[in-house]
Amino acid sequence: MSILLVEDSPIDARMIGTYLNEWGLEFITVESGTAAWDLLQRPDGPRLVLLDWVLPGIDGIELCRRIRTLGSNGTYIYAVMLTAKDKKQDLLTAMAAGADDYLSKPVDPSELRARVLAGKRIIDLQQSLRFAATHDFLTQILNRAEILAALKRELSRSKRDGKPAAIILADVDHFKQINDSLGHAAGDEVLKEIARRLKSELRPYDVVGRYGGEEFLLILPNCNLVTAIRRADEIRFLVSRDVILTPLAKIPVTMSMGITVTHSGFDTMEDLLQQADVALYRAKQNGRNCVQGLEETEGMHRV
């Protein structure tokens, strides 16, 4: 986790930076509240910030207020105010603005380390809770609610930018037979390994989640139907190439996949999911272990 140090005094920035280096902590230093605000708004921005009260551009108090507006997306930023102001009213002003902690200058290194460690524990806990709320417990990929939220965001982006995105609904073939013959523990191992293989084959900006039971939903941005069919078949091959090892048996697995794309004329998320489901049903009808794509004008395309 990277720490953001917002300090316009070169002497103070060098001193605090020396402490952070000694403690093995990664950090970024900026000299103004404006530069700090630009960094903190990024999706991958710092989650722990040490900031001075008096800063060029946006001051520390206003920066704290703005930081608290970022919490609506579920991400918390822990803010520690470092300042020469040491009156009780100053402390109350900083805390009312949204600071989590307050440390007077000159900074005592042991007190600073205690504040940083406390903030780090809170951020780590918040991230763990967020992961648990958005990911499937068994497979450790996105859960149904979160993958549907991702699909909704991608649909909006696709409409805004005029670029297609592919939706792949994938189902493990004959999964019930695995559970019936080897038990649910073996079935769980199969689902975990399939999820791992699916994730390993995706681009950094692709998304995969557990849609329900043995069904997985994949979202491939900037991907037309022809490319999506090719990519889906590569993923299908990767999943089925090697047997899955479980304590009870070596289990061969295959997947059927149905595909549609956001520019096919299906304007809602529900329409997209329905069309992907139709394509998946056709893939199963055609012998399973295959990829089937839906085109608006050409009907079904099978691989």
User: Residue 234 is encoded by which pair of tokens?
Assistant: 């590569």
Among candidate residues 214, 215, 295, 296, the one labeled active-site is 214
Does residue 214 have an active-site annotation? Answer: yes
Instruction: Give the integer Cα–Cα distance in Å for 111 and 120.
Output: 14
295 Cβ contact partners less than 8 Å away, ≥ 6 residues apart: 225, 264, 301
Instruction: Give the integer Cα–Cα distance in Å for 52 and 9.
Output: 9
Q: Across-strand partners of 212? A: 215
Q: What is the total residue count of the chain?
A: 303
Q: Taking the alpha carbons of 30, 35, 37, 41 in that order, is the dihedral positive or negative?
A: negative
Catalytic residues: 214
